[in-house]
Structures are given as structure tokens and as C-alpha cells.
Copies of this chain bind each other. A is one copy, B any other.
Amino acid sequence: MVRVAILGQGYVGTIFAWGLARLKKGLLEPWGVPLARVDFGVPVESLEIVASFDVDAAKVGRSLYEIARGYGLEPEPELKEVAVSPGLKLGSTPSFIKTAALDDGRPLEDALARFRELLDDARPDVLIDVTTTVRSRPLFTWEEAERRVAEGSLPHSQVYAYLALERSGVAYVNAQPAHVACSPAFVERAAEVGSLVLGDDGATGATPLTVDIAEHLAERNRRVLSVAQFNIGGNTDFLSLTEPERNLAKEETKSGFLEDVLGYEPPHFIRPTGYLEPLGDRKFVAMHIQWVSFGGFVDELVVNMRINDSPALAGYLVDLARLAYASLRAGVYGTVPEINLFYMKRPGPLGTRHKAKMLAYRDLLSFVERLRESRGLPAREAVTRARTSNP
């Protein structure tokens, strides 16, 4: 059994919990779980959600069952067994949330201590950070992290990662834009204490497709003249992005790939653009790319998407929790670029060059082969399976 804790019980975390319960009972096809058909020794059935943390007063104390219903989902009864514990709001929680956080009316030091106790109780193997987007800077030493946690100047994700890495043998999966797997302080610490950080910022929507389209163009030696990409949605994530600092954080993780993939950086405008409530979680994406073809002729490509934002990430989390656990068990500590490059927008460790997602996928399959070998499973099968087992 893999003990999983969710940080941030928003729509992503809830779809994850709801879908996982249904997957385990065979009520749901595992569409959207990239490695659903690849056996590396950690089946979906082994995942168990043991804790959940949030700062939203409307959620703290409620069960995942109640929260799932609040999102209009039909949850399995098992979700009644996990209640949301209060988390840490720090200075980085959006102002539109009414909080019931550990650090509401309690000194930071006490709040941290209280959170440590909750972790002691939950004993998670894997912590999944799906909290609100926050901007951050990389942290370079554990001492720096220590000092800044104490003084209360770090955003919530880096504080959670710090608290997780005080422990050993745990994995921290950071699916949002804060620098966790891109903080050398955390990667080095994890390597030292037999832990793991994966991240940063799940790559689920228009960005990974754009990466692959960029590679597609590069392979034909087409010269990209410009890229414009707009995203607008109506979920809480988009609402939080109306705060300029958060928007900037997102913009940074969304456009970093162009130079690495193309070999040059074309003029571009790639941003989460706005909040429009009736779009709900099904965001609208519009993208325009133009390039020079043979003979100097200019071609144009427009992409429009309606993407269910949260389910796409929730599907990834099913893999990430399993891969994190399998890696730990195989003695892989620190971070795993082969995982990050496929699943993340800004793959750790800091300074990792992007590559086409399709190429990252091949590397991921090779890494999974190594995991299989470490378990004594027959080699070369994972790749084959992944290509053939779509029913």
C-alpha cells in the first residue's frame, strides 16, 4: 500500500480522489493515466489516500465525500473516510479564500509544529502538491530554506516541501509552478535523506502539445516566426491567476521550452490570459503559430481547444504517485528528470533542458524499464505494452 497525502483539496485533488476510488473498483476506464497499461510493480490498486490538507474554511473538517459532491461528482463511499485537515496559508494564499488554516491566529512556529504532528499521524509515502499557483524563487541551500521557513517569507509550496523533506523516505510531487524540484536545496536534501521531489507544474493542457508541435516544426526545419497562446478558464486556478504575481509564475513555466526545442527563441506571447466563470474547469485555449516554409512561403496554424483542466492533471497524478513510490523503492533519490521531463512544465532539477514530450516519453519508458528490472520483472516489456495495449 502506498500512503498518499493531498495538499490542496481543490478540484484537481478531488477528481484525483474520486477517480482513483472508481478506478480501483473497475468503475472507470483508466483513460488519461499515461502509464495505465505499464506494469512497474505499483498497481493503481495500491494507492491509498490517507490525508488531505487545505486552508479553505469551507473545506477543512469536511470529508472528501462531501467535497466531491460539492463539485457535482458522484463519489464512492470510501471517500467518507478521509477528512480535510487544516494546512498552512502563509502569505501566499489567494485573498479570495476565507481560511481556516493552522497559522490563522497562531504563531507560525506553533503552526509548523502542528503540521509536523499531522504528518506524523498520516505517515504519507507520497505528498501531492496541488495547491494554488504561487510565484517563487529557487532555494539553493537547506539552511536558506530553514531560515526562510522560520521567518515566514516562503510561499506555501516551498514550506510544505521543506516540512516533507525533514522526513526521510518520502516523495513530494509538486504539480504547481513553485520551485520545488527546481530548488537545488530540496533536490540535494532529498538525495541525502533518501527522499524524492518531482516537479514542477504538471504539463497537461496546451503547453505539452505546443512543445510537440514545436518539435514537429523543428524536424522539418521550418522557421517559427511567432507563437501566440491564450488560455482562459473559469476554475479557481484561473481565478487565482488574476493576481499578477501568480500569472507571472505561470507564464514562466509555460514558455520556457521554445529555445530548448527549436534552438532559438521566436517572439511569443504564451500566457494564462483570463478568468471567465461560465467556462468552468473546461478551459478555452487559442493558439496561433506562423512559420517560414521552403522558398520563404509563410504558413499558419491555429489551434483551439476545450480542455478539462483538472481531470487531465488528476490522471497524471495517478502515475506520479506510483512512479514516485516505485523510484523510492528502487533506491532512486533526489529527483528523476526522466519523469519530470514528460509530466512537468518546468522539469527539475534546475537547469534541465526541455525536450519534445514525445522524446521525453521514450526516456520515461526506458526509466520504467529500469524500475522493472530492479523488481526482477522481465525487461523490454513495458515499452511494448505501452504501444499495444490500448484496447
Contacts and interface: CB of A to CB of B under 8 A. Distances in A.
A218 interface: yes
A35 B34 CA distance: 32
Contacts of A278: 225-226, 266-267, 290
A95 interface: no
Interface stretch (A184-192, A295-303, A324-332, A374-382): A295-303
A311 B284 contact: no
A249 to B, nearest CB: 18
B358 A31 contact: no
Given A230-B230, A263-B390, A273-B230, A15 B295 contact: yes
- Pick from A36, A218, A311 the residue with the most CB of B within 10 Å: A311
Contacts of A358: 212, 215-216, 219, 356, 358-359
B216 A212 contact: yes
A29 interface: yes
Contacts of A213: 209, 212
Contact of A390 (B18, B218, B298): B218
- Pick from A208, A266, A297 the residue with the most CB of B within 10 Å: A297
A308 interface: yes
Given A209-B213, A216-B212, A300-B306, A294 B314 contact: yes
Interface of A is mostly: mixed
Given A267-B278, A279-B226, A315-B220, A308 B284 contact: no
A361 B296 CA distance: 23
Contact of A293 (B232, B312, B356): B312
Contacts of A297: 282, 308, 311
A31 to B, nearest CB: 5
A264 interface: yes
A223 interface: yes
Given A273-B273, A290-B278, A292-B32, A305 B308 contact: no
Contact of A221 (B33, B269, B302, B305): B33
Contacts of A275: 269
Closest 3 CB pairs of A and B: A32-B294, A294-B315, A286-B286
Contact of A32 (B19, B221, B304, B318): B221
Contacts of A18: 295
A254 interface: no
29 contacts: A15-B295, A19-B295, A29-B223, A30-B221, A32-B220, A33-B221, A33-B294, A37-B221, A212-B216, A220-B315, A223-B390, A226-B276, A226-B277, A226-B279, A228-B232, A228-B279, A232-B288, A263-B390, A264-B390, A267-B277, A269-B274, A278-B290, A294-B311, A294-B314, A294-B315, A295-B308, A297-B311, A298-B308, A302-B304
A293 B276 contact: no
Contacts of A222: 31-32
A279 B300 CA distance: 11
A216 B31 contact: no
Contacts of A305: 299-302
Given A31-B223, A267-B277, A302-B304, 6 more contacts: A35-B221, A226-B277, A288-B304, A297-B308, A299-B312, A300-B307
A257 to B, nearest CB: 14
Contact of A31 (B219, B294, B318): B294
